[in-house]
Chain A
């Protein structure tokens, strides 16, 4: 059983967080909360952006130490744009994920960051890859990560279906993030969503008061 890593043990600013990515029919939705905290006691930022655009149709979201994640994504963005110029083609999503994986695996002793990479490319369509803490890379139709993700494993297992429509997938992602934010004290703020399809990229922000409410006890 993979050891569960709680972000509150990360020193410095951590994105104790909830991130999620899910494939639907024709595209992929990637989403996150927006809270950055220090040690689980202080919210250092209420509305940070955890969805980093590494290329035109490829986004990455970060969990773990914010400093590490920013450094890694900066390096990855550079490598990817260089690669894209060399190939004279937009990079494949797996290329982006592999770049992140190499950085995470080769520096595994120093880094404390995990990534979910999601995007669309011409070869395989919409895809979601996860690079976990030690540098493992796997592909899955839906992926959740971050400290808040523990609380929504059951919900995601029960609710996610392959080949949902765009609206169903957006509702699923919003609900899942809202539920996680309701239970995890280091996740919160607004819900940031990005929808990536062949046609392009769409950003959606859902502020706290517009989040779905579930019957509270």
Chain B
């Protein structure tokens, strides 16, 4: 599995007249982040933190990184905020058009391929790691990972963003095939909370969504509702 890990971009500036102007005004806006998506029988659970940074400044502490692409297809964005927003808009448009032509809800695999097409074609210019997840009638719940560089792979569970490195061990040991929806929600919430504790570029609240045949259910876990672990 390739990690769509986004290293927070620290200052590369040399000029000293920058003393009067804070560094972060010259940093690109990044969603240094933690995102996660898990398949279960009947749908998918997606989750993300809510921090957007420009260098050391948190530009948005309640970001929504779970972006709707279609009725039953969402994407989790990590990397450059501008790049991922632009790609998501393009793909939403393409997918909406395709769906009207077909007169059918689009497949998650189609959405994933559209993401990959854009990410791979413009891989030199872009900095985007995306998880595409959703439900369709043909294959049920699916998660596709499109990391930086434009690879495409389907996985039952996937994490991305700068905070993802810290939770690979937790995820490997706690994920088993055949979990229920509530178990997936619990796993995602815990994993995101752990990553947010360790990664400086992830934090804020935990946003979760479940996507199934019935529709999309969204929820937010605020600071005091986050899973806690014994401190040491």
Contacts and interface: CB of A to CB of B under 8 A. Distances in A.
A180 B170 CA distance: 10
A170 interface: no
B195 interface: yes
Interface in A153-168: 153-158, 160-162
A71 interface: no
Contacts of B169: 151-156, 176, 179-180, 183
Interface residues of B, number: 27
B16 interface: no
Interface stretch (B68-76, B105-113, B172-180): B172-180
Contacts of B171: 154
Interface in B159-218: 165-173, 175-177, 190-191, 194-195, 197-198, 200
A214 B21 CA distance: 50
A155 B156 CA distance: 20
Contacts of B191: 154
B1 interface: yes
A153 B198 contact: yes
- Which residue among A157, A180, A214 has the maximum number of chain B CB atoms within 10 Å of its CB? A157
B166 A175 contact: no
Contacts of B200: 1
B157 A153 contact: no
A90 interface: no
B230 interface: yes
Interface string A1-31: 1000000000000000000000000000000
A150 B232 contact: no
A153 B194 contact: yes
A141 B232 contact: yes
Contacts of B60: none
- List the 8 closest A-B pairs by CB distance, nearest first: A152-B169, A154-B170, A155-B169, A154-B167, A179-B169, A154-B194, A1-B200, A153-B166
Interface of A: 1, 140-142, 150-158, 160-162, 175-176, 179-180, 182-183, 214-217
Given A152-B169, A158-B170, 6 more contacts: A142-B232, A154-B171, A157-B197, A160-B232, A162-B232, A179-B169
